[in-house]
Structure 1
Amino acid sequence: MAKKNIHLPADESELSEMIAQAKAPLCIQGGGSRGIAVDGHALGTSAMSGITLYEPGAMTLVAQAGTPVGEIEVALAAENQRLAFEPVDYRALMGTDGVPTIGGTMAANSSGPRRISVGAARDFLLGVRYVDGMGKIVKNGGRVMKNVTGYDLVKLMAGAHGTLGVLSEVSLKVLPCPEMEATLVLQGLEDEAAVGALARALGSPFEVSAAAHDPASCETMLRVEGFEDSVRYRIQELKALLGGEARVEENSTKRWAAWRDLNGFAQTGEDVWRVSCKPSDGPALAAKSGARAVRYDWAGGLIWLAATAGHDLRAVLGAYDGHATLVRGTGQPRFEPEAAGVARITAGLRARFDPRGLLNAGLMG
């Protein structure tokens, strides 16, 4: 849950001053919707809000870090555009009442089912402004894609969870909304067969934008988006390619929003883990986990597991090509412990960006 007595700087200058004058660790938050709270004085960005530039023709948008994602989505929808990376809304899963912000979304590199086709949130980040651990205001990138030399700070900040700097403004690439979207729902496949079907679909020329499997309902889902004639053609070709019992759902936006936000795992009281792995390893890892509930996304490359509270999932899974993140629960580190070489690189980066160790200390190891 979000902490009370949170300090909310009104602008970037005030944020810079607060960090520069800080004498103790800070718990950095966006809108408080993820329920992450480390030891330290709570410092949030939600008061630094507003879209500062939107150019629909150039498909670029600039917003202050505390701008609600919903506000951005409304502005984009008015121009028939969208955040193509489908940021996850964790409020139902985490039982929080905060508001997802664009800064928090980018700091977490929050990416939904469409990641397999368009890329992650960081791939849409064109530029950032942030305040480092010494209170220095830094700008990197701009409003167009370009090559960089030295640190690519734009990509570095995405997924750093506020441990290297506190985002104050982000520049984004946005994309047009498709004319149509539809989902092919295959019925009755066991996990291994389902992952195999998802792999065949992704390996086909039919441009799938989401590929997931729900063992609880034995439904295997393939989303297709684009111009109407193209969508209808590709859906039928996928149906012929994969065979078996299937149905087509048009206008399946609500289905994918509920899937993205893990509504089925909300209010269960169990720990929720997010496991990244090779898709072909997914079914074996899920079986080994002992989890009560399993969901496969990204064609099996992302597994969501609901397991008994306190379950040491990493010890149970053992060595594999991937990592596990504890999204909801206590008793285990949230992030996978880093290998020695990676840990040295990480420590070096933190020493450079936050030499006093103030920003979300301990969150990522």
Structure 2
Amino acid sequence: MGQEGDAVLTPTTEEDLADIVRGANGPLSVRGGGTRGPLPEGEAVTTTGLTGITLYEPGALTIVARAGTPMEEIEAALASENQRLPFEPMDHRVLLGTTGTPTIGGAVAMNVSGPRRVQAGACRDSLIGVRFVDGTGTIVKNGGRVMKNVTGYDLVKLLAGSRGSLGVLTEVSFKVLPSAATEATLVLDGLDVAGAVKAMAAALSSPFEVNAAAHDPQSGKTSLRIEGLEGSVAYRTDALTKVLTPFGTVTSIAGAGSADLWRAVRDGQAVAGEGDIWRVHTRASAAAQVVADAKATASLLDWGGGLVWLRVPEGLDLRARLGPHGAQAIRVRGTGAGALPPEPPALAALTDGIRDRFDPRGLFKAGLAG
């Protein structure tokens, strides 16, 4: 076990991490690659010493890696076998103006999911197994290393998106999918947000397997992605163009241009800049009103309008503006209101009970405040 800059504890084994947790006398500030900005006060612990792919079976569509493994290492290994993570995890560095290295454990802890979520599901839907150290210092394993072995109480789904509040992830297992042979993006220009939501709904409800739908209000561009075999993509692109013609002129982007466009959407680049950053989960039908009421300096719609990224002036109480829409607003960067929206009393009682079970001393609660 080492220390990073003589300030951050860097366990190199699961047992080292368990010893740190058992010996902790106060809150622990757990971090991965440090791409999401400053974390709350507490004894700093990083998972970057827990690194490496421990199992990769391309034929079984399965990969297992320690939590601190850099995302680029995972993606490179998968690309060598023409495979990929289905959920298209975002890289927060441009959006938040941070440095560091994204890790696979951080993606799981935050349930990070990109544009392909509308078809492939979230990070938790590809996750098939976890190992973690809970607040008592116990090493816990749940799920398996192949899809058929996922049994028992589903801590796999519970850990994804828990923000480290139940324990520190040490190893994660995923099902993976083959990479697409080709991709194309259809673009509509000049739509307002309401019109873009209607166009995205038409595309997503069509039989042409659109796997990403986004709208950038700053540029007025609405983008829709199709992936697959070359002949299939060509046919579906032509057919979808006819569906979209009532909404305006349709242009097409293929290859690297399409990939670059969706990388920018995935990483929320349209809202990068000075101010507070929020992500809002809402009904697609309410997205236009959310954007209007937020009076944001920049916005971006993903998931057909189900996810809205917003950049607003520092300290703005965004939830007060969005209250009537039932939207769930999460502060990704900034100060003021809590990062997470308040839970209804019944749900809060349930989640508090689960956290008390896995973290009876409250070592990991600091992570929920940041």
TM-score bracket, shorter-length normalisation:
over 0.9
Corresponding residue number in structure 1 for 2:307: 302
- How far is the alpha carbon of 1:361 from its aligned partner? 2.5
Corresponding residue number in structure 2 for 1:262: 268
Letter in 1 for 2:56: Y
Aligned pairs (5 A) from 1:75-94: 75-94=77-96
CA contact (8 A) 1:38 1:360 kept: no
Identity in percent: 55
Corresponding residue number in structure 2 for 1:24: 26
Aligned pairs (5 A) from 1:137-286: 137-146=139-148, 151-243=153-245, 244-251=248-255, 252-266=258-272, 268-286=273-291
CA RMSD across the alignment: 1.6
- How far is the alpha carbon of 1:320 from its aligned partner? 2.5
CA contact (8 A) 1:33 1:98 kept: yes
Corresponding residue number in structure 1 for 2:323: 318
Aligned pairs (5 A) from 1:91-170: 91-146=93-148, 151-170=153-172
Letter in 1 for 2:178: P
- How far is the alpha carbon of 1:3 from its aligned partner? 9.7
Compute the TM-score of the two structures, normalised by the length of structure 1.
Answer: 0.96
SS in 1 for 2:10: coil
CA contact (8 A) 2:128 2:150 kept: no
CA contact (8 A) 1:129 1:169 kept: yes
**What is the rounded CA distance, in whole Å, between the counterparts of 1:349 and 1:28 in structure 2?**
19
SS in 1 for 2:132: strand
**What is the rounded CA distance, in whole Å, between the counterparts of 1:74 and 1:124 in structure 2?**
18
Render the CA deviation track for 1:78-99: whole Å, top value 9, x for unaligned.
Answer: 0000112111100112222111
More helix by share: 2
Render the CA deviation track for 1:303-337: whole Å, top value 9, x for unaligned.
Answer: 01111111100011113233000011111111111
CA contact (8 A) 2:280 2:330 kept: yes
- How far is the alpha carbon of 1:258 from its aligned partner? 1.4
Residues 215, 184 of structure 1: alpha-carbon distance in 2 compared, 3 angstrom cutoff:
same
CA contact (8 A) 1:28 1:360 kept: no
CA contact (8 A) 2:134 2:167 kept: yes
**What is the rounded CA distance, in whole Å, between the counterparts of 1:74 and 1:338 in structure 2?**
39
Number of residue equivalences:
363
Letter in 1 for 2:23: Q
Render the CA deviation track for 1:119-152: whole Å, top value 9, x for unaligned.
Answer: 0000110100000001000000002335867631
- How far is the alpha carbon of 1:4 from its aligned partner? 7.8
SS in 2 for 1:238: helix
Compute the TM-score of the two structures, normalised by the length of structure 2.
Answer: 0.95
SS in 2 for 1:319: helix
SS in 2 for 1:139: strand
- How far is the alpha carbon of 1:242 from its aligned partner? 1.1
**What is the rounded CA distance, in whole Å, between the counterparts of 2:159 and 2:146 in structure 1?**
17
**What is the rounded CA distance, in whole Å, between the counterparts of 1:265 and 1:183 in structure 2?**
21
CA contact (8 A) 1:188 1:245 kept: no
Letter in 1 for 2:45: L
**What is the rounded CA distance, in whole Å, between the counterparts of 1:4 and 1:249 in structure 2?**
49
Residues 320, 146 of structure 1: alpha-carbon distance in 2 compared, 3 angstrom cutoff:
farther
Corresponding residue number in structure 1 for 2:71: 69
